[in-house]
Copies of this chain bind each other. A is one copy, B any other.
């Protein structure tokens, strides 16, 4: 199947699974569930759940087996965006071309919707209870990646870095590894766990995800500096305006592009060690490195 068609197919599966695995519209309290769906349904690339589904397919997991886990990882990603956008954090009004959750609803509702998406993500993993070793594996993976030493820790380090001058290359790499790469790494690993892949293959998936996550974040920094708001669907030039340390600020555009390429190549090298047909994932890595939004 052609890459773009396959990507579209994965994204459609993600959209359908999101609708299926989220509490229905109107579930009491309706305002809370409306806010959860508002943020989830804002769209976006669905990178993490697509990676999870594609990873599970490498090991011939039964179709649909990976979908609850895919929804879980998108719920965690979306919660982190809702909370990051709050006034006490990045204070952003626009996300994916629409008002952020606290602008559309209010701060309290946005806070609770974020909390609820995070909780729902973990609860969803209990859907695998007929195969409890899968539940335990997924929980360990997601709990670690989303936790205080990875996703949330990266967000904290990012906030602290904004307040000081002179963030080093090591510090920036640590922030990006935690804030972005950890969840992308977990997405690929969780696909393997759902499919009951060998631990060595799950570890290779983790490694591929780490490199892909770094590449993704460096490209994000490049796009923030070079693209316009309409193309991005979020406020462009935000980093420079906030005098934020990014790969572009630290290394310049050319060297940043080179670093992004190196990380993509490392991700591809890891993927090459996996069983199954990795064509989709390798094309996705290349596509992601060349993306314009």
Flag if B135 contacts A123 (CB, 8 Å): no
Flag if B149 contacts A23 (CB, 8 Å): yes
Q: Is A97 an interface residue (CB 8 A)?
A: no
Distance to closest chain B CB from A112 (angstroms): 5
Flag if A149 contacts B27 (CB, 8 Å): yes
Residues of chain B lying within 8 A (CB to CB) of residue A147 = 116, 119-120, 123
Chain B residue with Cβ nearest A79: B115
Flag if B116 contacts A31 (CB, 8 Å): no
Copies in the complex: 2
CA distance A155 to B135 in the complex (A): 28
Q: Is A288 an interface residue (CB 8 A)?
A: no
A131-157: CB near B (< 8 Å → 1, else 0) gives: 011011101101110111100110111
Residues of chain B lying within 8 A (CB to CB) of residue A89 = 108, 111
Flag if A29 contacts B125 (CB, 8 Å): no
Flag if A111 contacts B86 (CB, 8 Å): yes
Flag if B160 contacts A29 (CB, 8 Å): yes
A186-216: CB near B (< 8 Å → 1, else 0) gives: 0000000000000000000000000000000
Within 8 A of B (CB), among A147-179: 147-149, 152-153, 155-157, 159-160
Q: Is A107 an interface residue (CB 8 A)?
A: yes
CA distance A144 to B124 in the complex (A): 10
Distance to closest chain B CB from A265 (angstroms): 29
Flag if B128 contacts A136 (CB, 8 Å): yes
Q: Is A36 an interface residue (CB 8 A)?
A: yes
Task: Mark A residues whose CB is within 8 Å of B.
Answer: 23, 27-29, 31-33, 36, 79, 83, 86, 88-89, 106-109, 111-112, 114-116, 118-120, 122-126, 128-129, 132-133, 135-137, 139-140, 142-144, 146-149, 152-153, 155-157, 159-160
A selection of 26 A-B contacts at a CB cut-off of 8 Å is A27-B149, A29-B157, A32-B148, A83-B115, A88-B111, A108-B159, A115-B118, A116-B147, A116-B152, A119-B146, A119-B148, A120-B143, A120-B148, A122-B122, A124-B143, A125-B143, A126-B139, A128-B136, A129-B133, A129-B137, A129-B140, A132-B135, A135-B136, A135-B139, A136-B136, A139-B139
